[in-house]
Amino acid sequence: MRHPSKPTLFAVALLAFTGIFSTPLRAAMDLPLPSAPQVSAGSYILVDYHSGDVLAEKDADKRMEPASITKLMSAYIMFREIEAGRLKLTDLVRISKKAWRMPGSRTFVEVGTQVPVNTLLQGLIVQSGNDATVALAEHIAGSEDTFVAMMNQEAQRLGMKNTHFENVTGLPHPNHYSTARDIAKLARALVHDYPEFYKYYSEKKFRYNNITQPNRNLLLWRDPSVDGMKTGHTDSAGFCLVASAKRDGMRLISVVLDDRSENARATSSEALLNYGFRFFETKKLYAAGTPLKQVRIWKGASDTLALGLAKDLYVTYPRSQYNKLRATVNFKPTIVAPARKDESFGTLDVSLNTRVIAERPLIALQAVDAGNLWQRMSDGVRLWFH
């Protein structure tokens, strides 16, 4: 890969990173790649975890019933509460009659008993227990309805524009829906924000109340690179699966909705993951906070300003195309102090075969205050001639 080029004129339009790209990478690059495998799911998406690039999709913005995939958001809120210190894994949760009576998948907690948060989280994640999920929601928020409001607020913050929750379990409701793209955003956020809790999703079985139940994610047995995430099923939603796998440092996330059977959703997910790993690769090109360009700043206490990235830059591209990547630094031709730390002064563009595949703001890595009177006056004269 060629290193950043000499400065060009400042690009007027800055594109900020917005999560998951809406255009499949294969189409955007216009390269001779094989099409994604044909799978039986009604809707799906395959994304790279680090870059957020879409490698394959089908009806990814179609509103669908998420079934127990809903519990990814339920768990996300619970992990947030633990991290904030408002909930502890050792806290005891009293099981209400409502939680005990929940239909569908169950952890088999008994009404009136007190169960540790850690145990209920395992029941929620491994067994997809509706009873455990409701019990935790009530413990945290006082009622399921209040917890659902927290879920919808978090969905908006994460940019899940086509998602609305009506319950914490994913039981059918006409106003309870999401999309494959939104679910992929949530899955990426969960892995990134709470890696210490992600380990729960790789547990193959869980035993509680003398009952052992297996994790329904069949890929945990089929593919050693798969380490999560969540299954879902109702008669109206079909069979759903969010799967995440990591090979050679590259992590992919697939979301399969409305498939025909438990085996079909696993087969569809496996085919998508294998396609992504076989034909694409992801690399970190530049680290956050690393100076990529030292530029002249006028009328400042310092003559130079270091520009870099706020976040690590990962790029996903077709295999064997790394040497064709080109990086270009674009920045304002004239920068005048003061400059605030993290203020944007240009872009870093990464292109492949003349197509820009990544664009990130170039920010000031440190503040530069306005210079003294002499510095401002002398630079003013230099600028006049410059």
Q: Give catalytic residue positions.
A: 68, 71, 128
How far is C-alpha 287 from the chain's CA centre?
19
End-to-end Cα distance, the chain = 34
How far apart CA 164 and CA 242 sit, in angstroms, is 18
Alpha helix segments (H runs only) across the chain: 25-29, 71-83, 97-100, 117-125, 130-141, 144-157, 180-193, 195-198, 219-222, 262-279, 373-385
Q: Which residues neighbour 116 within 8 Å (Cβ) at sequence distance 6 or greater? A: 89, 90, 91, 92, 93
How far apart CA 253 and CA 250 sit, in angstroms, is 10
At position 184, the amino acid (one-letter code) is: A
Local structure of 347: helix, strand or coil: strand
Contact 149, 99 (CB under 8 A): no
DSSP-assigned letter for residue 260: S
Q: Of 297, 244, 292, 251, nearest to 269 (Cα)?
A: 244
Contact 64, 43 (CB under 8 A): yes
